[in-house]
Amino acid sequence: MKKPNLGWTTIVKVKDIIDGDTIKVVIEKEITVRITDSERKFNTSEIRKPASEEEIKKGKEAKAVLEQLILADDNEHVLLYVPTDGRNHLSDVFSIGSRVVGHIFLGDEDITDIMKRLGFDKSTITKEREDR
């Protein structure tokens, strides 16, 4: 995904890395952001409630990579983009429990594109296993 035009976009401070596809950011109050991609399919292996030891390992690896990407050079600020509907209303605020669904940008690049290139998209991992 390229840098967004419409939506709610702001610079935010990263407070914590939850796992490979979820971070906590601070705006005026703390919110949890479920990182997504343009197809709303990006998902990394889970650390909690995993299906296997392999998933735990891959989930911890994804979290470590996301931490390294976001917190490199002591840079805790990223660009947060939460899509809006056609009337510029936030369409995904708290759509998954207490999280917002949004995009995180490092420079001009969506973090999900980076994580996908590095092999952390769970749907890609699952498809590779099915193809074997």
**Cα-based angle 90, 102, 120 (whole degrees, multiple of 5):** 160
pLDDT tens, position by position, 60-89: 999 999 999 988 866 667 888 877 666 655
User: Is residue 20 within 8 Å of 66, Cβ to Cβ?
Assistant: yes
Question: What CATH number does domain 8-131 carry, 2.40.50.90, 2.60.40.1530, 3.90.1200.10, 1.20.272.10?
Answer: 2.40.50.90
Query: How do the domains of the chain map onto residue ranges?
Result: 8-131
Report whether pLDDT(95) > 70. Answer: no
User: Is residue 20 within 8 Å of 115, Cβ to Cβ?
Assistant: yes
Cα separation of 87 and 83, whole Å? 11
Report whether pLDDT(28) > 90. Answer: no
**For the chain, percent of residues with pLDDT exceeding 70:** 70
Cα separation of 99 and 31, whole Å? 7
**For the chain, percent of residues with pLDDT exceeding 90:** 26
